Structure 1
Amino acid sequence: MTREVPALFAAGISGILVGVALVATGSIVEAAGPITIAFIRYLIGALLLLPFALRTSWIRVPLTDFLPLALLGIFQFAVLIMLLNFSVIYIEVGLAVLIFATLPLLTMTIAILLGREAFTSRKLIGITLTIVGVGFAVGATAFSENIGADGWLGISAAFLSALSGAVCSIFYGPYLKRYPTLQISTLAMLASVIFLCGLAVTEGMLTTLPHFTLHVWLVLLFIGFASAVGYFCWLYGLSHTLPSNVTVFLGLSPISAALFGALFINQPLTWQDATGTVLVVSGLVVSLWRRRAPPQALPILPPQ
């Protein structure tokens, strides 16, 4: 219980940084390309984590564990991001964010089916409130256009992106018990960097890289730093509390994106943002609230 409080705090930081990085990425995506940005941000993140990881007691990882960890890193970063980026080609960004917000619900469902979590109506209500809160925050853009035939392709991609994140969040568990969090963070992120490298080259990274301005590089450094801190916090949370308790904090990402956008790119805040914030915070409180155990009565000693 003592470690669960900092784990939930770390999960909150991770959820906030997801939204902040989303806004920062959107500001340079036309100059760099989504796959190139993903490759560079995770390369920076892995390089930032590596010195700290090497200072910890590094445990030898056998091939039977290394391959699953590499796959988790590839799906957590590369596949998840590519599916999400693919989805916004066919549907509005707000709708993609709303679908992705079902990740905590998917996590809880899969964890219950696998017997790793117990079902509680309280947590279901809390997660549902966070999803409704995200719906309010992105409602203006989520349903601004009719969904055509290709729209269902985008919806499917956004759903598979959320499903990928849910599955990875659950299956990290055994490895977080065997190896230090920093070690897993670095190995998984490096695996995704290797996977993304070839894709970034085909996207044209080698031709666009020399034309990056100082502004683009500063934003990439910031996103890389946010990725390193956010992913470490994510895994730290997963190592000390239930996966659904960690993923529910993703509801903070559209809220932090709205606040960050208002501060740095003059994006106006709306009453929907305020309503969404209240609902998300309420959902977090309901989902994570626990009754305190009643104090035990002292035994009555017989008279001496």
Structure 2
Amino acid sequence: MLQNNDGQNSTQNTAVYPQPGNAAEKSLRPAQAVAHTKGQRWERYAVGVLFSVIWSSAFIAGKVTVMEMGPFTTLFYRFVLTVLVLLPLCGKKLLGPKGKQAMLAGILLGLLNNVAYLGLNFSALQRLPPSWVVIVVSCAPFMTMTMAALRGQESFDKGKLLGFAIAFTGVVIMVGITGLHAGAALGLVMTVGATLAFSAGAVLFRGKYDDLPLLPVNFWMSVCAMLCFAPAAFMTEASPLQLTWHAQIALIWLVVVSLTGMALWLLLIRTQGPSMAASYNLLNPLSGLALSALILGTDIGVQDAAGAAAIVAGLYVALRPRQGKIKA
């Protein structure tokens, strides 16, 4: 089972073995314990990387669909289809006291993570170059750690901060920073607001709602987004039936992202803490580049490779176990 990475709950992270009966067992048991904790650690990393790959794929699929339906209409139908898939999966989990708590949590988190984060970033892209949006969104780990520290969930960790800074530098190297044009200030305010909402959602979920079942929370998050984006969608005549076949496939994939990507995101917050979960967003430029090269045939240059190396090095520094803490 995945464990928390913030150094707490040491009783959960400690392997318990019976007393060995001979010298051979005495040397074997510690080795087994080390292998077990290393396996847990790599399991957590694998979940974070998988989240980044799935989350990044939404940018490629979204670009295809947005070209034909526009941003808010795309988001509306994305969440309509997500709700239709989640409804039978949730079933009776939507009822009872836990179901009511999941509804309240889902509506609030939906406003923060689906409506504010996606809506503001899509709007910011109309005023900012994409590179600037990527740069600001990559500040999420710093914002999340600050919020979590203010709420007493985490403490400032010099190793984490150094790792985040190195990885953030890699993001800047990889995507670059192009010149801003008139009206960009409002776009910057939008994307900063989007990232703050994203970070606030992570801290809020860990602090109040991380004991709730994930599927019902995701269901109500999607319902909230569907209702909020409905007015914009109804003002246009675009519909999924009018899309080209490749745009329809892209829209279906966006639903997959909403289902699996959000579930993995909530799972990362629950098991690794808000700031560590947010740190995997630093991998998004690298994951997006790899997917673009694989699917679209995008070339990978020296600048991309240098930025990717810095991102990986920074995340290694941020994620590696600290001396004096439980290594699990």
Same fold (TM over 0.5): yes
Per-residue deviation, residues 97-129 of structure 1 (Å, max 9, x unmatched)? 111110111001111122211111001011112
CA contact (8 A) 1:87 1:155 kept: yes
CA contact (8 A) 2:136 2:192 kept: yes
CA distance in 2 between partners of 1:45 and 1:175 (Å): 24
Equivalent positions of 1:73-222 (< 5 A) are 73-139=110-176, 142-143=177-178, 145=179, 147-202=180-235, 204=236, 206-222=237-253
Structure 2 spans left out of the alignment, 5+ residues: 5-40
CA distance in 2 between partners of 1:163 and 1:294 (Å): 29
CA distance in 1 between partners of 2:220 and 2:302 (Å): 42
CA distance in 2 between partners of 1:225 and 1:111 (Å): 29
Compute the displacement of 1:157 (Å). 1.1
Return 182-191 or 6-15, whichever deviates more: 6-15
Alignment match, 1:3: 3
Figure out how many residues of one structure are paired with residues of the other and give that number.
289
Return 235-244 or 191-200, whichever deviates more: 191-200
Q: State the TM-score, normalizing by the size of structure 2.
A: 0.80
CA contact (8 A) 1:8 1:246 kept: no
Establish whether residue 36 from structure 1 lines up as the match of residue 73 from structure 2: yes
CA distance in 2 between partners of 1:257 and 1:158 (Å): 19
CA contact (8 A) 2:73 2:238 kept: no
Return 177-186 or 253-262, whichever deviates more: 177-186
Establish whether residue 243 from structure 1 lines up as the match of residue 274 from structure 2: yes
Establish whether residue 18 from structure 1 lines up as the match of residue 51 from structure 2: no
- Residues 9 and 271 of structure 1, relative CA distance in 2, 3 Å threshold: same
Out of 47, 71, 81, the position equivalent to 2:84 is 47
Compute the displacement of 1:48 (Å). 3.0
CA distance in 2 between partners of 1:10 and 1:55 (Å): 28
Secondary structure at 1:178's aligned position in 2?
A: coil
Compute the displacement of 1:181 (Å). 1.6
CA distance in 2 between partners of 1:69 and 1:45 (Å): 14
CA distance in 2 between partners of 1:64 and 1:136 (Å): 43
CA contact (8 A) 1:173 1:238 kept: yes
Q: State the TM-score, normalizing by the size of structure 1.
A: 0.86
Alignment match, 1:256: 287
CA contact (8 A) 2:102 2:212 kept: no
- Residues 230 and 224 of structure 1, relative CA distance in 2, 3 Å threshold: same
CA contact (8 A) 1:96 1:158 kept: yes
% identical equivalent positions: 23
CA contact (8 A) 1:17 1:253 kept: no
Compute the displacement of 1:66 (Å). 3.5
Per-residue deviation, residues 31-59 of structure 1 (Å, max 9, x unmatched)? 01111111222233333333333376965
Secondary structure at 1:117's aligned position in 2?
A: coil
Give, as a single letter, the amino acid of the residue that structure 2 aligns with 1:246: A
Alignment match, 1:60: 97
Compute the displacement of 1:258 (Å). 1.0
Establish whether residue 279 from structure 1 lines up as the match of residue 310 from structure 2: yes
CA contact (8 A) 1:20 1:253 kept: no
Secondary structure at 2:97's aligned position in 1?
A: coil
Compute the displacement of 1:190 (Å). 1.9
CA contact (8 A) 2:103 2:216 kept: no
CA distance in 1 between partners of 2:132 and 2:220 (Å): 32
- Residues 3 and 44 of structure 1, relative CA distance in 2, 3 Å threshold: farther
- Residues 120 and 51 of structure 1, relative CA distance in 2, 3 Å threshold: same
CA distance in 2 between partners of 1:271 and 1:219 (Å): 30
